[in-house]
Structure 1
């Protein structure tokens, strides 16, 4: 039965927290009545990978890709919404759709909804839950809930009268939840006796489709148009208010005479009215149209909207809106069917596979559809937009973001009615006369994952685009057409606006011409100076850049003034703001004096404030605080004031020895150390030199600066130790600094980086912070231990704790007392004293990462029943590493541990999905093969190790094989039948010049080559390869271009990305 609440009930199950916690992967697939196995398999792949599926034509390859992507050890929930079993299609289609789940042996649960009672065999046996009509009492209760929702304050006598009429109406309605909601919502909008009586007397409410038609008839005329237009899209298509509203605006379905509301506002309002009427239902992060309302919309729009998906159907001549999905082979034939639609207004053309030349398609479209307003094309692989696009003068909406077009022809600037323009990231420049499109409301460029980029290529005279709704980033230039005054006429800008290069403003009058105060639709404003202004005009300029009073978020970056603008100090402005970020404002010494009056502020970011010396009392409303690189900000406890600073010192000899050992094994670690040291020496100048204590050690650091890079030597490290000692003495022997650092009681995320806080102050500020969920400590050289157990045990909601470059950290304190910690990461703490049995880790831990540290052999031997992911990189470890009893382990990544010879305990982890053994030169392969039972993904860095693995009888080949950081000039693979099982081959940052033959990889489907600059050419590839990606390999990329020496090796591959 339609409208019984099947989808709604399935959504409650899908979103239940218990279900989320039980299933490692959940997928929701809305099915089409004409089962499209290829498209639904792609949807499943995208659900798992969270990115667009490659453009593949072969179902077997798609199914293998889905099988590879599915987790081997986690349970999977697959929801199939609106199963429609057509016996004419047969069982084979359903068997093919569900084939990738056949090997899950009970780990995959399928929940499906259907209006029918006849199900395909692939879904049997089923536990059949039939949703019938609601009992009269339950239906009446539900109906009363909806028809009086929000009417609690109406006159009691009127409410009683209406209630009596409503009770009588329910007796005429079908007893489905949808009927109660639809009729109840309409009655609630008009609480008048006359309307309710008219509804009671309406004889056409006895079946559900009549109820839906009655609801439609009571919609506003403009909203009715918007409703039936949605039938153009297939059932189960996902929508958002943003993208549907743009269609409606381009088609003139929305008009307004209200100066305070634009058409976008009304479009959003229309969409949410449809949601309130149950026309749209939330799924994942978007909405789908209720299938019964979709049926109604199709009936109402049968003479206006037409959808053709790989089928032969006659097209009525009255059609004005067409949705066409076709294969490349029958594209021209299907286009010819609609060529006689002279009044066509909308064409959404989805061509399934890549095509190099679409000029003939554009010729057909521009010749036959002169009145077209909306054109959306999926043309993967197509690179040239013909000049004839300029002939489509009535076009208002052009979406070609799913193409490879590199530039727009100048003729685009003749599309004077254009309102919405959406382009792919391959477009690097825009026509200089784009500002001729004075009706343009939105222009966006999307990356390959269909995420809108923040910045556009430069366009002069943007001030002509007076209808523009969004402009994320504007760069001020000392050139005509790029002045800040261009923003002055853009009064409808909304969302986020970032103004960059404000140092190019000479006078406050130029800033005032931007008229920011009048842009009342702006929500977020970012003001950025890229360098200090030469004339020191920052204060005058920022005074003139007064934002609108209802601004929600403000970021100021690079401001060199020592005074805040007066508008920021006004109570009305600061009270309403919910986010304040100050970055690289090196002359500011404190926050705005009235900041504690900001009762709605949730986010505070203080970054790179070199002179900030104090904080006022912070608003209790804050949930996120970031304090990063504020060297003069000092926090300590009262009882620490008289300490001499020895508690923060390190043993100079052992510390230098440790850091030099880490330096020897990792260039990456060396770069981190150099950056941190350079910043540290600069921060010393801000602190210990405050009282003219400029140390001789700082001169040593200066003398060791090689160009811009600091040379890492024992002299420099010793200089740091001496400066650090002076800093600690200064910190504890002077009255400078706050004695307390009180955090807001609702705080959820705290980041402290490169500032001065003592052990005691850290403990005091964290004490009792029951709402804290994430804690990040970076580059804090003044702490030697994490807080004790009596402090950390109160952090009941802390899930994530990360420490990075806390060089003097010696103890993890009461870490094990954290009751619900899931993720712990420690990096660059070479003084850390780790207990041999490592009982410091809490038993709830799931993710553990350690980098640039010195580790004991039994680091993972504790009671860690939940630990799933372990990553150890650039660490000094003993010859043997024991995995203990980590029965939940799914991923083990060991990278650049030069002394490691043996790994013990791999046999206890049959469910491991990922094993990375990279840059382990001493590792004895036999120690791995004695107990390893295989993994889905294996990364190594030596073909010698690989060949040793291949020679073992116990070797279980992975689905993905990766070679990372291989230093061998030539990789050699010994012939092995094991290669037949490998479906994906990855090469990452290898120094290899020659690749081996891949003839034994007979089932290889995907090849990825990343940052392998020495590779000279591709070998011949197996015919099974369907996808190849090459990034950061300039020589190889050039060879693989069309007409290049290696082009013939990849030209038949269905999906290739070369950059």
Structure 2
């Protein structure tokens, strides 16, 4: 800091003051800044040479200060008494609301730190105070709401010194966090007769590897409990010969997180009536989940031995399910999954090795689905099942990756789905892709094209796909021409007229195609002859319910030298088959409910017309079969 800071006597805001040692400002210069308010961080207190200078800082009379951070640059246990004297003389005004102490090197705290006269303090953080053997009586601070204690290497026991006397402790505390307490072994209750933390709502324990025994029994307002890296912590009541679990008062618990191998005794907390969120991570000794009531969110991460869900299934209230690295876990059987009618969010990653197919149509409220690295998954079906009351109409975000054996994707009636999974081309084993009745689908295969080994592809009733892919460039991005394995392409319904016309006109369909099926194209009047003629491997052509179709391009059909079967159904405007005739390779022709064609060909009238098809070995017109 600049020298002679103390001359700025009218200064009201100073967020950081770095104590100088041989140069710069010394801490006593703060004494002249009597109007300081708001927040201040006083750093490198290890540079204070004489503890009496700390007294001259006169923090006790700075009544406008609300937030104070006191930080040493390093701990120095060789000068513990000096360090304690400095902190003692830095006693702040009783109006202080937030206090942080970092890297304090003393072995004990000054008396003012737990003085009930500090009656406006709301938040306190003690970080890296390694050499303190015990905490001050923080339980006597009447307005304290949040307490964070981190990295106290030598603290082994929390007991009566923390709670203090004479008042009932922690009357206002709502959030309590202990982190990186490497030597902490025991948490002793106050013995006051009432709850030690009557208003505590959130308790977080992280990296306290030696903590043993039980947590506080009576936490009537606790809503969130997070235990991570406390490998030997367990509920000792769980091993008692006589159960006293009825004395456990966690009745308000809503969120429970257990991480890094904590003992299964903590799972007794799942009996809490209001528990709605459960997270279990890095848990090695759990083989099956107990029954859980009222749960809304379940997160299972890195549980290698977990093999099954509760026998009765998961609660119907579940809205979010996240499964990560649980490879032995057998996913819920169909009859159990069908009960999860409220499930909104689902992630399955590197899990459930036994899962071969996944019928997502049974999750009607699902909005977000991610499936990744499920190497044995073969089929994902989002088509409404027969007899289903509802369908997955809420799905709007879908991600699938790392599923090398996935061969089939079916989507139907996902009313809010706007795009297919990103990088769908990485699903190299995919052979079947069926997308139908997706009114808001806007894009497919934008970043790499369709899967390279696709064999069967269906588009049906995807009207917005036409609107968003109106340019030839967008259609080219699908990469259909490069799909040399594509055998069957079906297209129809709302919005498909323009898609088919563009694909044919720009010759974007692969020449290896074996089957082309066209249906319910209400505005289609003709098929582009140039695009049709290049399908030289086509063996089957289906045309159905195209009310406006007036003619077929005869010259183009003549180029289809591999065509064997032609089906024409419900095309009332089609009056003639091509005068040039149909390809000589054709072996079967079927005409159904095409009134003009029936009249012209059924009774073999009009010999010129009949001659154009008479070479076909089998002709079926409605129910009449003519075999030559």
Please tell me whether the aligned partners of residues 102 and 126 of structure 2 are also in contact (alpha carbons under 8 angstroms).
yes
Please tell me whether the aligned partners of residues 237 and 245 of structure 2 are also in contact (alpha carbons under 8 angstroms).
yes
**Partner in structure 1 of residue 340 of structure 2:** 864
User: What SS does structure 1 have at the residue aligned with 2:60?
Assistant: helix
Q: CA deviation at 1:931?
A: 8.0
Unmatched runs of 5 consecutive residues or more in structure 1: 1-457, 639-678, 688-730, 732-736, 969-975, 984-996, 1003-1059
Q: CA deviation at 1:758?
A: 0.7
Query: Kindly tell me: are residues 944 and 482 of structure 1, through their superposed partners in 2, closer, same or farther at Cα, counting changes over 3 Å?
Result: farther
Alignment of 1:627-646 (within 5 A): 627-634=178-185
CA distance in 2, matches of 1:562, 1:750: 30
1:886 pairs with 354, 363, 372, which one?
Answer: 363
**Partner in structure 2 of residue 579 of structure 1:** 123
Q: CA deviation at 1:520?
A: 1.9
Please tell me whether the aligned partners of residues 158 and 186 of structure 2 are also in contact (alpha carbons under 8 angstroms).
no
Q: Deviations over 1:179-207 (max 9, x none)?
A: xxxxxxxxxxxxxxxxxxxxxxxxxxxxx
**Partner in structure 2 of residue 830 of structure 1:** 304
Alignment of 1:963-1042 (within 5 A): 978=465, 981=468, 999-1000=473-474
User: What SS does structure 2 have at the residue aligned with 1:567?
Assistant: helix
CA distance in 1, matches of 2:158, 2:177: 13
Alignment of 1:360-509 (within 5 A): 469-474=12-17, 480-481=23-24, 484=27, 487-509=30-52
CA distance in 2, matches of 1:514, 1:998: 75
CA distance in 1, matches of 2:29, 2:420: 55
Q: Deviations over 1:841-867 (max 9, x none)?
A: 332222222323223132772632222
2:264 pairs with 765, 776, 784, which one?
Answer: 784
Q: CA deviation at 1:547?
A: 1.9
CA distance in 2, matches of 1:864, 1:915: 19
**Partner in structure 2 of residue 847 of structure 1:** 320
Q: Deviations over 1:709-735 (max 9, x none)?
A: xxxxxxxxxxxxxxxxxxxxxx8xxxx
Query: Kindly tell me: are residues 611 and 842 of structure 1, through their superposed partners in 2, closer, same or farther at Cα, counting changes over 3 Å?
Result: farther
Query: Kindly tell me: are residues 550 and 933 of structure 1, through their superposed partners in 2, closer, same or farther at Cα, counting changes over 3 Å?
Result: closer
1:751 matched to 2:226:
yes
Q: CA deviation at 1:492?
A: 3.8
User: What SS does structure 1 have at the residue aligned with 2:348?
Assistant: strand
User: What SS does structure 2 have at the residue aligned with 1:605?
Assistant: strand
Please tell me whether the aligned partners of residues 979 and 1000 of structure 1 are also in contact (alpha carbons under 8 angstroms).
no
Please tell me whether the aligned partners of residues 383 and 411 of structure 2 are also in contact (alpha carbons under 8 angstroms).
no
Please tell me whether the aligned partners of residues 827 and 852 of structure 1 are also in contact (alpha carbons under 8 angstroms).
yes
Please tell me whether the aligned partners of residues 401 and 427 of structure 2 are also in contact (alpha carbons under 8 angstroms).
no
Please tell me whether the aligned partners of residues 528 and 558 of structure 1 are also in contact (alpha carbons under 8 angstroms).
yes
Give the TM-score, by structure 2 length.
0.55
CA distance in 1, matches of 2:70, 2:22: 20
Please tell me whether the aligned partners of residues 156 and 186 of structure 2 are also in contact (alpha carbons under 8 angstroms).
no
Query: Kindly tell me: are residues 468 and 942 of structure 1, through their superposed partners in 2, closer, same or farther at Cα, counting changes over 3 Å?
Result: farther
Please tell me whether the aligned partners of residues 442 and 465 of structure 2 are also in contact (alpha carbons under 8 angstroms).
no
1:914 pairs with 397, 421, 435, which one?
Answer: 397
Q: CA deviation at 1:565?
A: 2.0
**Structural RMSD (CA):** 4.7
Q: CA deviation at 1:887?
A: 1.8
Alignment of 1:684-833 (within 5 A): 741-755=216-230, 756-760=232-236, 767-779=248-260, 781-788=261-268, 792-796=270-274, 798-814=275-291, 816-817=292-293, 819=294, 821-833=295-307
Q: CA deviation at 1:773?
A: 3.8
Please tell me whether the aligned partners of residues 522 and 551 of structure 1 are also in contact (alpha carbons under 8 angstroms).
yes
Q: CA deviation at 1:633?
A: 3.5
Q: CA deviation at 1:569?
A: 3.6
CA distance in 1, matches of 2:430, 2:35: 66
Alignment of 1:223-302 (within 5 A): none
CA distance in 1, matches of 2:474, 2:288: 52
CA distance in 2, matches of 1:761, 1:635: 16
Please tell me whether the aligned partners of residues 234 and 265 of structure 2 are also in contact (alpha carbons under 8 angstroms).
no
Q: Deviations over 1:118-142 (max 9, x none)?
A: xxxxxxxxxxxxxxxxxxxxxxxxx
**Partner in structure 2 of residue 897 of structure 1:** 374
**Partner in structure 2 of residue 993 of structure 1:** none
Please tell me whether the aligned partners of residues 961 and 982 of structure 1 are also in contact (alpha carbons under 8 angstroms).
no
Q: CA deviation at 1:521?
A: 2.1
Query: Kindly tell me: are residues 839 and 783 of structure 1, through their superposed partners in 2, closer, same or farther at Cα, counting changes over 3 Å?
Result: same
1:567 pairs with 92, 99, 112, which one?
Answer: 112
CA distance in 1, matches of 2:43, 2:246: 36
**Partner in structure 2 of residue 203 of structure 1:** none
1:589 pairs with 133, 138, 141, which one?
Answer: 133
2:170 pairs with 602, 614, 619, which one?
Answer: 619
**Partner in structure 1 of residue 417 of structure 2:** 935
1:557 matched to 2:44:
no
Q: Deviations over 1:772-820 (max 9, x none)?
A: 34333333x34125434xx544443x44333333443444334x12x3x
Query: Kindly tell me: are residues 460 and 605 of structure 1, through their superposed partners in 2, closer, same or farther at Cα, counting changes over 3 Å?
Result: same
Please tell me whether the aligned partners of residues 214 and 233 of structure 2 are also in contact (alpha carbons under 8 angstroms).
no
Q: CA deviation at 1:635?
A: 5.8
Query: Kindly tell me: are residues 776 and 506 of structure 1, through their superposed partners in 2, closer, same or farther at Cα, counting changes over 3 Å?
Result: farther
User: What SS does structure 2 have at the residue aligned with 1:1000?
Assistant: helix
Q: Deviations over 1:979-1023 (max 9, x none)?
A: 96289xxxxxxxxxxxxx995399xxxxxxxxxxxxxxxxxxxxx
Q: CA deviation at 1:544?
A: 3.0
Please tell me whether the aligned partners of residues 740 and 761 of structure 1 are also in contact (alpha carbons under 8 angstroms).
no
CA distance in 1, matches of 2:445, 2:29: 51
**Partner in structure 1 of residue 547 of structure 2:** none
User: What SS does structure 1 have at the residue aligned with 2:289?
Assistant: coil
Query: Kindly tell me: are residues 941 and 844 of structure 1, through their superposed partners in 2, closer, same or farther at Cα, counting changes over 3 Å?
Result: same
Query: Kindly tell me: are residues 601 and 902 of structure 1, through their superposed partners in 2, closer, same or farther at Cα, counting changes over 3 Å?
Result: same
Q: Deviations over 1:482-519 (max 9, x none)?
A: 76556555444444434444445454345445433222
CA distance in 2, matches of 1:862, 1:633: 46
Please tell me whether the aligned partners of residues 152 and 181 of structure 2 are also in contact (alpha carbons under 8 angstroms).
yes
Query: Kindly tell me: are residues 621 and 841 of structure 1, through their superposed partners in 2, closer, same or farther at Cα, counting changes over 3 Å?
Result: farther
User: What SS does structure 2 have at the residue aligned with 1:741?
Assistant: coil
Query: Kindly tell me: are residues 902 and 950 of structure 1, through their superposed partners in 2, closer, same or farther at Cα, counting changes over 3 Å?
Result: closer
Q: CA deviation at 1:868?
A: 0.8
Query: Kindly tell me: are residues 900 and 951 of structure 1, through their superposed partners in 2, closer, same or farther at Cα, counting changes over 3 Å?
Result: closer
Query: Kindly tell me: are residues 571 and 778 of structure 1, through their superposed partners in 2, closer, same or farther at Cα, counting changes over 3 Å?
Result: same
Please tell me whether the aligned partners of residues 558 and 584 of structure 1 are also in contact (alpha carbons under 8 angstroms).
yes
User: What SS does structure 2 have at the residue aligned with 1:863?
Assistant: coil
Query: Kindly tell me: are residues 528 and 851 of structure 1, through their superposed partners in 2, closer, same or farther at Cα, counting changes over 3 Å?
Result: farther
Alignment of 1:344-355 (within 5 A): none
Please tell me whether the aligned partners of residues 631 and 754 of structure 1 are also in contact (alpha carbons under 8 angstroms).
no
User: What SS does structure 2 have at the residue aligned with 1:802?
Assistant: strand
Please tell me whether the aligned partners of residues 785 and 812 of structure 1 are also in contact (alpha carbons under 8 angstroms).
no
Give the TM-score, by structure 1 length.
0.35
Unmatched runs of 5 consecutive residues or more in structure 2: 164-168, 190-205, 239-243, 385-390, 452-458, 477-628
- Structure with greater proportional helix content: 1
Q: CA deviation at 1:935?
A: 1.5
User: What SS does structure 1 have at the residue aligned with 2:264?
Assistant: coil
User: What SS does structure 1 have at the residue aligned with 2:100?
Assistant: strand
Please tell me whether the aligned partners of residues 229 and 262 of structure 2 are also in contact (alpha carbons under 8 angstroms).
no
